Amino acid sequence: MTFRGRRGGEWWRRAVLYEVYLRSFADGDGDGVGDLAGLRARLPYLRELGVDAVWITPWYPSPFADGGYDVADYRDIDPVFGTLAAADALVAEAHALGIRVLADIVPNHTSAAHPWFVEALAAGPGSPARGRYLFRDGRGNGSLPPNDWRSAFGGPAWTRATEADGSPGQWYLHLFAPEQPDLDWANREVREEFASILGFWFDRGIDGFRIDVAHALAKARGLPDLGYPADGRSAWGAMIQPWEVESHPHWDVDDVHEIFQGWRAVADAHGDRLLLAEAIVGVPERIARYVGPGRLQAAFGFPFMHSRWDARELRSVIDETLAAFGAAGAPPVWLLSSHDETRHVTRFGRSETAVLGLFGETGEPTDLALGTRRARAAALLVLALPGIACLYQGEELGLGEVEDLPPEARRDPAWRRSGGTVRGRDGCRVPLPWSGAEPPFGFGPPGSTPWLPQPAAWRGLTVEAQDGDPGSLLALYRRALRLRRSHEGFAGESFRWLDAPAGVLHFERGRGLRCAVNLGGRPFELRQGDVLLASAELGPGGLPPDAAAYSTVPS
């Protein structure tokens, strides 16, 4: 095995991760859904791109009520993706190419089709089987939900179960869809089961896990009301967030850290494995509480991803993130997009460039040329910051959000649950364009139909179309990744800001690698001779607006 990243321990400290949204990466068998065969065939592409590890979204057997984040069996692979043997082969092949593999673990909830939940429904109130989940009696005469919590996908976070004799029964908690019942992490059996699941995959060679909604696992004792005002905050997606209240009863409850200390011990017992939290809890300081010695190794930097294309805002988020993670002794994780957010090419072309909530497809017009220029610059920024960078599949091709999907094609539970008023996240999940002039663009064999329709305009953005073009975004990513790997300037993780006019981010990292990002309206003076790589051609005044460049210390 020849891994290209850091040698020895803690391989993840400065890794470049790549999110594979498995259903949309590559379809090997022609059923329209991405799978392990497709991913295995495209590993050489990822090797050439130069990433250190892939994070693969849930591959477990699932009814797909929420794209696989509803797991029915944590120790197997859904037949739509392949088999356990195919997963083993994928891990071996990726390792042979120097690419590590992270799986996605979903510990907050199972699928309603999980044998535990089926058992819990049958077993009845007060049973040990119900004790693995959060079943409660309803309020009043039992017909009202036990508290006022709301689901992230809209509506109450409680659904009433029907007891075995057909009568309306207890309620169960689901912070997401009703098909995703929340587990009770105060239950010892739940903890033991997940320690065993982690071990199961570590023993198969998995290098780590991305942890789904890590901040949701612990709930406040007694499940107290959140205090939603009667006057409306019950609208879709208007969930009260942890940064809005002093102590939140189901997001970021302090007891969560003790759970992950246990996970870290399991990971450490299996060698150098990475546990990476999805913890959407507000400021970097709060996120950094998930990481450090004896805690998880890393957590996504959502405040950075949620920032506007604005120098002052980005600079302060970078400062806060570096300070918080530096104090915790853990690397930050920088990212621009994911399978849950509007693709950044589209965001950056709008007047409102921040991510708008979790399901932010707004329909606001976007200038894709502007968005793409900024995305090119943002790529250089993300890859120059010290720590971990995480790319979302297709960002290296400059794909935008697909905002005109036909209603009948949409699969996000948010769409259905909101009665079609919230379009949801399908627009960032459209299958990748690899080659050719028309759909399926090499995503699957000719004649196959991808599970979400691809825009005809993607013909110019396929891997094949960009491959030989030195001016393409793909070429820029490849070159930036190569520099990050091999240029001596990138050695070390030190960081300091350099003087720059308002609107420009200018910093030095490692051994003299300089990165300038021009978010202002005027060119930024930069000497051509010192430039290693630029996202746009330098003009007479230097680095144009909405562009970035790497340079060495001027001689």
Among 35, 148, 340, 396, binds ligand NOJ (CB under 6 A): 340
Q: Minimum Å distance from CB 488 to ligand NOJ?
A: 37
CB of 340 to ligand NOJ, least distance (A): 5
| Minimum distance from residue 73 beta carbon to ligand NOJ (Å) | 16
Q: Dump strand ranges (E) for 93-250.
A: 100-105, 135-136, 158-162, 168-173, 208-211
- How many chain residues touch ligand NOJ (CB under 6 A)? 9
Backbone angles phi, psi at 9, to 5 degrees: -75, 165
Q: How far is the CB of 372 from ligand NOJ (least distance, A)?
A: 25
Gap between the Cα atoms of 385 and 326, Å rounded = 13
Q: Which is nearer to ligand NOJ, 148 or 340 (CB)?
A: 340
Minimum CB–partner distance for residue 337 and ligand NOJ (Å): 12
Residue with tokens 């399991």: 266
Of 52 and 278, CB closest to ligand NOJ: 278
The nearer residue to ligand NOJ, 452 or 538, going by C-beta atoms, is 452
**Cβ closer to ligand NOJ: 54 or 106?**
106
Task: Output the CA torsion 409→111→254→245 (10° steps).
Answer: 40
* Residue 121 one-letter amino acid: L
CA distance 452 to 401: 12
**Distance between CA atoms of residues 88 and 99, nearest Å:** 14
CB of 352 to ligand NOJ, least distance (A): 22
Residue 66 binds to ligand NOJ (criterion: CB under 6 A):
yes
Q: How far apart are CA 342 and CA 401, in angstroms?
A: 6
Q: What does the per-residue mask of binding to ligand NOJ show for 88-127, with x meaning CB under 6 A?
A: ------------------x---------------------
Q: How many helices (H) and strands (E) does the chain have?
A: 14, 16
Of the two residues 27 and 179, which places its CB atom closer to ligand NOJ in the complex? Answer: 179
Q: Smallest gap, in angstroms, from Cβ of residue 542 to ligand NOJ? A: 40
Residue 396 token pair = 């290296």
Amino acid letter for position 236: W
Three-state DSSP class for residue 435: coil
User: Which residue's CB is nearer to ligand NOJ, number 105 or number 322?
Assistant: 105
Mapped onto helix, strand or coil, the DSSP state of residue 515 is: strand
Strand order in the sheet with 531-534: 495-497, 504-509, 513-518, 547-552, 531-534
Closest CA to 461 of 447, 475, 448: 475
Q: 243 vs 497, which CB is nearer to ligand NOJ?
A: 243
What's the closest the beta carbon of residue 417 comes to ligand NOJ, in angstroms?
Answer: 12
Residue 463 to residue 9: CA distance in whole angstroms: 34
Residue 465 near ligand NOJ by CB under 6 A: no
Question: Smaller CB distance to ligand NOJ: residue 179 or 508?
Answer: 179
Q: Is residue 19 part of the contact set for ligand NOJ (CB under 6 A)?
A: no
Question: Please, which residue, 176 or 524, has the CB nearer to ligand NOJ?
Answer: 176
Structure tokens at 252: 């970021």
For strand 274-277 and strand 168-173, is the pairing parallel, antiparallel, or unpaired? unpaired
Q: How far is the CB of 70 from ligand NOJ (least distance, A)?
A: 8
**Based on CB atoms, which residue is closest to ligand NOJ, 390 or 461?**
390
Alpha-carbon distance values, 549 to 190, 310, 386, 518, 522 (Å): 49, 17, 16, 9, 15
CB atoms within 10 A of CB 239: 22
Does residue 154 contact residue 237 with C-beta atoms inside 8 Å?
yes
Dig out the tokens for 400 from the structure: 């935008």
Q: Which residue is nearest to ligand NOJ (CB)?
A: 69
Q: How far apart are the first and last CA of the chain?
A: 40
Q: Name the residue nearer to ligand NOJ (CB basis): 54 or 213.
A: 213
Output 280 or 500, the one with its CB closest to ligand NOJ: 280
- CA angle 267/86/426 to nearest 5° reads 80
Q: Figure out which of the listed residues 212, 396, 403, 508 binds ligand NOJ, where binding follows CB under 6 A.
A: 212
* Binders of ligand NOJ in range 272-331 (CB under 6 A): 278
Query: What is d(CA 136, CA 157) in angstroms, rounded to the nearest whole number?
Result: 12
Binding mask 155-194 for ligand NOJ (x = CB under 6 A): ---------------------x------------------
- Nearest by Cα to 126 from 75, 65, 96, 169: 169
Query: Counting contacts by CB under 6 A, is residue 213 touching ligand NOJ?
Result: yes
Window 362-401: contact mask with ligand NOJ (x via CB under 6 A): ----------------------------------------
Minimum distance from residue 300 beta carbon to ligand NOJ (Å): 10
**Is residue 69 at the binding interface for ligand NOJ, with CB under 6 A as the rule?**
yes
Q: Tokens 């089709």 — which residue?
A: 113
By beta-carbon proximity to ligand NOJ, the closer residue of 340 and 396 is 340
Distance of closest approach, residue 179 Cβ to ligand NOJ, in angstroms: 11
Provide, rounded to whole angstroms, the least separation between the CB of residue 213 and ligand NOJ: 5
Edge-to-edge strands, sheet with 135-136: 135-136, 168-173, 158-162
Least separation in angstroms between residue 260's CB and ligand NOJ is: 17
Q: Which residues contact ligand NOJ by CB under 6 A? A: 66, 69, 106, 176, 212-213, 278, 339-340
